[in-house]
Structure 1
């Protein structure tokens, strides 16, 4: 269950109780979407509130940024997590001043536990959830997705190629899925997927595996994004976040993938993580050239060092951003990074000026799959719900609608390694297209979000009609 926003911890727990009333008796209570920095007061939750709501039922509430889990005591017991448990490297089990677990589990520790949290779901329920989500995507005019590894660890990338394949075989797959499993020393998972999907006519030609995904840092709001200088509001002396894996390990992984012609997408949010990743990709390009399919890509690129935009272009790296992230945490960038560092955040216009190739997306379920909100925020740099701030946040980085559309379509096709057959309406390209009731290139900014998809076509076949 997705639960975006919410005024405070108590309100979200009450909504969760209403949701849980309709669940099977054997089901965990699992939700996603809470953001404590948008609450009043903006304080982290603890297990106490959900212990009171669910004393005998495991409850796991995944944060909106998908980097933190909030558990009740029953869930911690089911998972075998105690005050003496040691978290995996790059993760943490938060404790209070008495050394007791608060119920908050972060980064690698949260990602390691998530597969067990969802273990009660049957294949049938999962397939139906995928089909339902694809129907919502078709309504938003989405014909292709990039499904990227959620976990940095072996064996739990959360890419359900089996589900996509089953839906394709049943004729229920209504989009093109491009899968990016976890980048590991063992590259066989990707290569086996590529071999299956390369067979003529396999799965209706709707499935691809263009490359790998890996995490390099966390998120600024939780102080886990990796910075060159400490956060402006440090949680402890020298607080500058951390890398999820050592830089030399990432370098070895990327170079090994590049040697075999594989593209890599790396989650990088903090300026230090971005800088290090650009350096690694530059070395990969110099030694092995371009990937055989797909593009080496950085995901998110929230705050950057001066000079790294030019370095990004020189390394031939594609910048993949999610415009709706800009206003997820009003005042947060200034609070966490200070006034100087926020001057180079989500720099879409600067990327254009330097010739950096870009792609847009939603990072769902971090933000909802609402295509018009992506375009609205890219053009206005205003929140898609409140429409603040007036004039846009860092208005110098606003971009014209024509560029936003090109980045969201042709740019995203390039990120999937499909720029020669997707993302444009032209002879020889696949007939994936959308009919809108507005001309987005001429309508007023305040009308962008009211534009409705009238029909969505995949390979010339209508998969949605209003």
Structure 2
């Protein structure tokens, strides 16, 4: 059978080894039908075959973001939300001017991205600065790590929160020394409220989704794992009907793997799995939160933080450990893979215990992959346990360079040595995948690779020589994590993640061979073409 498309290149990276090779990839329909020497592709050439000779441009499997939040990412890039990381509290307040007139006076004004730990004066903000400028309009400022809300008095009123309100388990309403609300809402308390201020019309959601898909394709991204953020009990932010409509209209040019919240009631994920099982849209597993983040001391540690706020300050779990254990065991009994947010070393340790018990009780999963998400620091022996228990580490390299000095302040130099241990994963044979956790960080694909290889900030190259440089990996290893590793996280290694005959035709073309350039040139590398499901969905002008 003649191929529809043949790509010839001097730099094909199949993600099955460490090197590129000169050759060709032939695509027929939505499948790869040939990978090998260029002369071998001639047998697949027909009168209507499009042949592209790419010279030294690099051909690789399409990138796969193994952990992002699709709804939030799309809406936070829309005209209805302003982004501001800011250098100060007031700078973030002033950024709201950009959305003063985009919606009605009673609708939420929303800003996303603030990181008080990165401000010139790294103090926690309060509702006072918001009230001074917007006393009569509800305002919500969502933190860059997506774990904290900063709300004004009108917003608290609209949410129905008073100083006597009781937060959900694992959450907290910030109060000052007089017991008055500060406007800061932490962890599950904030997550439970997200649905109340993230309210948009179906038309607004559709427009934002279409644009976000285009943005993903422009980064060479052909697959994502949509990691549902827990909202109200029994609900999630997975927009399955919107995905289905886009698939029907031919506008879903990324494969979406939906991971709804793991609850005792599995009816929602069971319904999703039964309804969506195409090559482009399916539900391969479940997601839960087990702890928070280090910068707010809500990641759960075995020993207290090095800069403890109070005696015994070692974070906390978002749900009781026994409840998490019961959820993991129930999921295993039904054959469901589970992905658990674990940042602190004790959260990781306990989650591995639960996976070990589930494996011993019910055996290996019939299909799919258990994963831990983020894994920022370890008790040393637990790195090897990932391999022993066949648990994949789903990591986001850009997180590592957001504030490495802050990580060392929180955890101390000894524990910092075991943070984001990519080289150790390679040495021990641990499966691992890369993503961004968008909207926590941008979907920039070259930043993902650059950060993993150099362990330096793409903004200023800090720190010189890389942070914890003993854990650097090669470009080939980073590319495999971002392709084959992510396919494993999605439970689809059989048809995604590598360039092999019979696999689905998802490919990216880069203007440089990343394996042949200095790592600093990764940042100036461009995606020139993205092919998803056999179709060219992005082509650089």
Structure-2-length-normalised TM-score: 0.83
Aligned counterpart for 1:86 among listed residues 166, 170, 174: 166
User: How far does residue 223 in structure 1 lie from its aligned partner after superposition?
Assistant: 0.5
- Is the Cα–Cα contact under 8 Å of residues 105 and 137 in structure 2 kept in the other structure? no
Instruction: Work out whether residues 106 and 138 of structure 2, in 8 Å CA contact, stay in contact via their aligned partners in 1.
Output: no
* Shift in alpha-carbon separation, 1:80–1:240, aligned structure 2, 3 A: same
Residues 97-130 of structure 1 deviation map (CA, whole Å, 9 limit, x = unaligned): 11111110000100111101123x1111111111
CA RMSD of aligned residues (A): 1.2
- Structure 2 counterpart of 1:452, from 526, 529, 532: 526
Quote the Cα distance in structure 2 between the aligned partners of 1:216 and 1:154.
16
- Aligned counterpart, 2:500: 426
Answering whether residue 82 of structure 2 is matched by residue 8 of structure 1, we say: no
Contact kept, 8 Å, 2:284 with 2:491, in 1: the verdict is: yes
What SS does structure 2 have at the residue aligned with 1:291? Answer: coil
Residue 387 (structure 1) shift: 1.1
Determine if contact 2:108/2:138 at 8 Å carries over to the other structure.
Answer: yes
Counterparts of 2:174 and 2:322, CA distance in 1: 28
Q: 1:415 aligns with which of 450, 465, 489?
A: 489
Task: Please say which of residues 343-352 and 126-135 is displaced more in the overlay.
Answer: 126-135
User: What is the alpha-carbon distance in structure 2 between the residues aligned to residue 68 and residue 349 of structure 1?
Assistant: 32
In 1, Cα distance between the equivalents of 2:268 and 2:518?
Answer: 47
Residue 127 (structure 1) aligned with residue 224 (structure 2): no
With normalisation by structure 1, the TM-score equals 0.97
What is the CA-CA distance between 1:169 and the residue it aligns to?
1.8
User: What residue in structure 1 maps to residue 413 of structure 2?
Assistant: 339
C-alpha displacement of 1:2: 5.2
Question: For the structure 1 residues 270 and 152, does the alpha-carbon distance in structure 2 shift closer, same or farther, using more than 3 Å as the test?
Answer: farther
CA distance in 1, matches of 2:422, 2:352: 17
Determine the structure 2 residue equivalent to 1:108: 188
Selected match of 2:131 from 51, 54, 60: 51
Tell me how far 1:391 sits from its aligned partner.
0.4
Preserved CA contact (<8 Å) 2:193 2:232: no
Give, in whole Å, the separation in 2 of the partners of 1:439 and 1:450.
12
Note the C-alpha offset of 1:5: 2.7
Work out whether residues 85 and 113 of structure 2, in 8 Å CA contact, stay in contact via their aligned partners in 1.
yes
1:441 counterpart SS class: helix
Asked if structure 2 preserves the Cα contact closer than 8 Å seen for 1:154 and 1:182, the reply is no
Checking the alignment, whether the CA contact within 8 Å between 1:152 and 1:183 is kept in structure 2 is: no
Please give the residue correspondences for 1:61-210 in structure 2 after superposition, counting only pairs within 5 Å. Answer: 61-119=141-199, 121-151=200-230, 154-198=233-277, 205-210=279-284
| SS of equivalent residue, structure 1 residue 340 | helix
SS at match of 1:168: helix
Cα deviation for residue 381 of structure 1 reads 0.2
Higher Rg of the two aligned structures? 2
Q: How many residues align?
A: 460
SS in 1 for 2:537: strand
1:107 and 1:215 mapped to 2: Cα distance?
10
The answer to which structure has the higher strand fraction is 2
Conserved 8 A contact 2:400-2:420? yes
Structure 1 residues 450, 333: closer, same or farther in 2, change over 3 A?
same
Unmatched segments (≥5 aa) in structure 1: none
Which of 302, 308, 315 is the matching residue for 2:382?
308
How far apart, in 1, do the equivalents of 2:473 and 2:294 lie?
24
Tell me if 1:320 matches 2:394. Answer: yes
- SS state at 1:61 partner: strand
CA distance in 1, matches of 2:431, 2:406: 27
1:408: how far off? 0.6
* Cα shift at 1:16: 1.8
* SS across alignment from 2:276: helix
1:369-426 Cα shifts (integer Å, max 9, x gaps):
1000000000000012111000000000000000000011000010001111001111
Segment drifting more, 437-446 vs 21-30? 21-30
- Name stretches of at least 5 consecutive residues in structure 2 with no aligned partner: 1-80
The answer to whether the 8 Å contact 1:153/1:182 transfers is no
